[in-house]
């Protein structure tokens, strides 16, 4: 496979207290949760292991995305597989990788599109229809894939090469991304089939059994809403005073519980001993919410801070594989674990990298560049490389000329001022004009060199499109499908190999679990 990866770590790996993890996180999950899980291939055995008395799990998760979403989703899932294997080596216990599909998420604008590079090196955006601005913020597990998916898959075919793998990749997508499926179901099925052979179990928290298991914990968070609100505010102030980030706004009466209301998924807010939905303003008493959670648990879900706590409450999770934003907000969750009496899992940075394909690697090697060099503002790198093509004679002449102009105009200004101080401005103006003339000549030379180096400009643009599409990290923009079409399942195998090497550095030791 003509492909290499350049690691881009998001954070160091922690040292973990294995003894604490075994004491606090080992329990058998409710067997009813098995129905909320999907497993393919080798993952079916892992699913059996998950519901045995001595099993633990490593989890990660992501909101559903079109055609599995950005590459980072695959990197997170594969990182969980690699970390579970590493923990199993350390602990000598079954450790199952589990992917939590955040189907309650309502950010449709983030989930409804993918990007890829076509044969002309153009970045192509493929998207489901936008949600009307006035539409309710429907959770993604209620958002249908819809009829436009056929056109999106046809566009994938048009933008990708006809390799030996393409038909199988398209067949895999068509098994899951069908008009009648919701986005969460399509996403969960696709991830489960793609990574099941490597042992990944997919968990659907929107399944009715999962909703029932989470419901008592969500109700408890509402019962302690006032106390949690104060504790989260104090924790946020503590982190800020220490110069640490607090990316999730807390402390203003907003609870950690979301409820599907008239305007879609809505945040419940404390309101003089009662609660109201933030957008729709629907009002509820605590007893009403208890009854509603019993009758319609599917309408309730945790917010981003409560979600890892709920996960740790229902699954024997020893670690959560996190991206940079999750690593930033995990410290804010501490009061929730403490007051809801849930032992926390350990956040572990996911593996992160750039996939450098052969044609891009050749460009980097040709010009002796690193991938990071392409993250410079567009034009700056090109200017640097073109300047390197300027003949030594021209560079030397320009350098000597500037030095001479500087020194000689200083002498001239001194002599002129001695004759008449009013001549100072005239000499300085002439000096600036002379320097501008040199700069203009230099620009003209560089412009001609640029024209002679159109191939360089084109190759850098192509490499930049591949590594920093739209100026963003590759893994946050591009989708896995074109890589699967070009390299088949060996792409996933390579990701797992590199993620395994990353996670192998995790060592047991003293530390807070």
> In this predicted structure, what is the pLDDT of residue 9?
93
Would 61 be classed as within a structural domain? Answer: yes
Would 395 be classed as within a structural domain? Answer: yes
Nearest CA to 480 out of 225, 190, 218 is that of 190
Cβ atoms of 265 and 322 within 8 Å: the answer is no
Q: Is the pLDDT of residue 480 over 90?
A: yes
Q: Is the pLDDT of residue 455 over 80?
A: no
Give pLDDT tens digits for 54-90.
899 999 999 999 999 999 999 999 999 999 999 999 9
Number of structural domains the chain divides into: 2
371 vs 236, residue with greater confidence? 236
> In this predicted structure, what is the pLDDT of residue 510?
46
Can you tell me the distance from the alpha carbon of 43 to that of 48, in angstroms, rounded to the nearest whole number?
Answer: 9
**Stretch among 118-122, 129-133, 158-162 having the lowest mean pLDDT:** 118-122
Confidence grade of residue 461 (pLDDT, cut at 50, 70, 90): confident
> In this predicted structure, what is the pLDDT of residue 120?
81
Q: Are residues 132 and 111 in the same domain?
A: yes
DSSP string, 350-395: PP-EEEEEHHHHHHHHHTT--GGGGGSPTTHHHHHHHHHTS-HHHH
> In this predicted structure, what is the pLDDT of residue 125?
95
Mean pLDDT score across all residues of the chain: 92
Q: Is the pLDDT of residue 424 over 60?
A: yes
Confidence grade of residue 451 (pLDDT, cut at 50, 70, 90): low
> In this predicted structure, what is the pLDDT of residue 512?
39
**Stretch among 31-45, 47-61, 428-442 having the lowest mean pLDDT:** 428-442
390 vs 98, residue with greater confidence? 98
Print the domain residue range for 58: 3-218+301-351+478-503
Cβ atoms of 491 and 484 within 8 Å: the answer is yes
* C-alpha distances in Å from residue 360, one per residue of 17, 32, 461: 42, 49, 10
Q: Are residues 415 and 307 in the same domain?
A: no
Q: Are residues 195 and 78 in the same domain?
A: yes
Q: Are residues 328 and 370 in the same domain?
A: no
Q: Are residues 429 and 491 in the same domain?
A: no
Can you tell me the distance from the alpha carbon of 470 to that of 126, in angstroms, rounded to the nearest whole number?
Answer: 15
Confidence grade of residue 23 (pLDDT, cut at 50, 70, 90): confident
Q: Are residues 314 and 393 in the same domain?
A: no
Q: Are residues 10 and 127 in the same domain?
A: yes
Sign of torsion over alpha carbons 294, 300, 306, 307: positive
Confidence grade of residue 211 (pLDDT, cut at 50, 70, 90): very high
> In this predicted structure, what is the pLDDT of residue 450?
66
Q: Are residues 46 and 190 in the same domain?
A: yes
pTM: 0.88
> In this predicted structure, what is the pLDDT of residue 513?
34
Q: Are residues 42 and 89 in the same domain?
A: yes
Mean pLDDT of 239-246: 93
- pLDDT more than 90, % of the chain: 72
Token digits of residue 445: 């030379």
Q: Are residues 446 and 416 in the same domain?
A: yes
Q: SS3 of 296, please? A: coil
Nearest CA to 148 out of 131, 134, 162 is that of 131
Can you tell me the distance from the alpha carbon of 351 to that of 354, in angstroms, rounded to the nearest whole number?
Answer: 11
Would 276 be classed as within a structural domain? Answer: no
Mean pLDDT of 85-111: 95
495 vs 454, residue with greater confidence? 495
> In this predicted structure, what is the pLDDT of residue 397?
82
**Biggest CA pair distance of the chain:** 99
Would 293 be classed as within a structural domain? Answer: no
Q: Is the pLDDT of residue 218 over 90?
A: yes
Q: Are residues 75 and 205 in the same domain?
A: yes
Can you tell me the distance from the alpha carbon of 47 to that of 52, in angstroms, rounded to the nearest whole number?
Answer: 9
Would 275 be classed as within a structural domain? Answer: no
> In this predicted structure, what is the pLDDT of residue 445?
64
Can you tell me the distance from the alpha carbon of 20 to that of 25, in angstroms, rounded to the nearest whole number?
Answer: 8
């Amino acid at each position: 496979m003509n492909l290499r990866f350049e690691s881009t770590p998001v954070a160091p790996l922690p040292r973990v207290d294995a003894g604490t993890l075994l004491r606090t996180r080992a329990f058998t999950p409710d067997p009813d949760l098995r129905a909320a899980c999907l497993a393919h291939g080798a993952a079916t055995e892992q699913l059996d292991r998950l519901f045995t008395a001595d099993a633990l799990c490593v989890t990660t998760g992501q909101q559903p995305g079109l055609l599995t979403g950005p590459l980072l989703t695959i990197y997170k899932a594969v990182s969980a597989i690699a970390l579970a294997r590493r923990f199993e080596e350390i602990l000598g216990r079954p450790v199952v990788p589990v992917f939590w599909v955040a189907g309650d998420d309502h950010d449709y604008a983030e989930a409804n599109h993918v990007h890829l590079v076509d044969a002309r090196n153009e970045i192509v955006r493929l998207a489901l229809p936008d949600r009307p601005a006035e539409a309710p913020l429907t959770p993604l597990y209620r958002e249908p894939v819809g009829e436009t998916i056929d056109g999106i898959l046809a566009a994938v075919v048009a933008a990708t090469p006809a390799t030996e793998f393409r038909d199988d990749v398209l067949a895999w997508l068509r098994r899951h991304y069908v008009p009648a499926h919701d986005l969460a179901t399509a996403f969960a099925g696709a991830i489960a089939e793609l990574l099941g052979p490597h042992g990944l179990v997919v968990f659907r928290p929107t399944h009715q059994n999962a909703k029932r298991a989470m419901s008592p914990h969500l109700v408890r968070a509402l019962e302690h809403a006032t106390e949690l609100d104060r504790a989260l505010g104090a924790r946020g102030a503590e982190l800020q005073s220490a110069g640490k980030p607090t990316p999730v706004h807390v402390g203003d009466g907003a609870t950690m519980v979301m409820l599907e209301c008239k305007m879609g998924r809505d945040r419940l807010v404390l309101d003089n001993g009662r609660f109201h939905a933030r957008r729709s303003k629907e009002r509820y008493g605590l007893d009403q919410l208890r009854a509603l959670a019993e009758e319609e648990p599917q309408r309730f879900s945790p917010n981003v801070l409560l979600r890892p706590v709920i996960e740790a409450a229902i699954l024997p999770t020893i670690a959560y594989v996190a991206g940079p934003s999750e690593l930033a907000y995990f410290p804010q969750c501490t009061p929730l674990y403490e007051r809801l009496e849930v032992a926390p899992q350990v956040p572990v940075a996911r593996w992160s990298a750039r996939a450098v394909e052969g044609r891009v690697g050749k460009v980097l090697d040709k010009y002796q560049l690193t991938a990071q060099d392409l993250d410079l503002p567009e034009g700056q790198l090109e200017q640097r490389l073109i300047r390197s093509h300027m003949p030594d004679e021209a560079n030397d002449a320009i350098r000597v000329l500037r030095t001479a102009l500087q020194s000689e105009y200083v002498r001239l200004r001194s002599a002129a001022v001695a004759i008449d101080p009013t001549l100072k401005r005239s000499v300085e103006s002439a000096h600036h004009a002379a320097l501008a003339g040199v700069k203009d000549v230099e620009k003209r030379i560089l412009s001609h060199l640029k024209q002679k180096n159109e191939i360089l400009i084109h190759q850098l643009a192509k490499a930049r499109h591949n590594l920093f599409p739209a100026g963003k990290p590759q893994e946050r923009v591009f989708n896995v499908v074109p890589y699967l079409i070009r390299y088949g399942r060996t792409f996933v195998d390579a990701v797992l190999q590199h993620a395994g090497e990353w996670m192998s550095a995790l060592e047991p030791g003293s530390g807070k679990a």
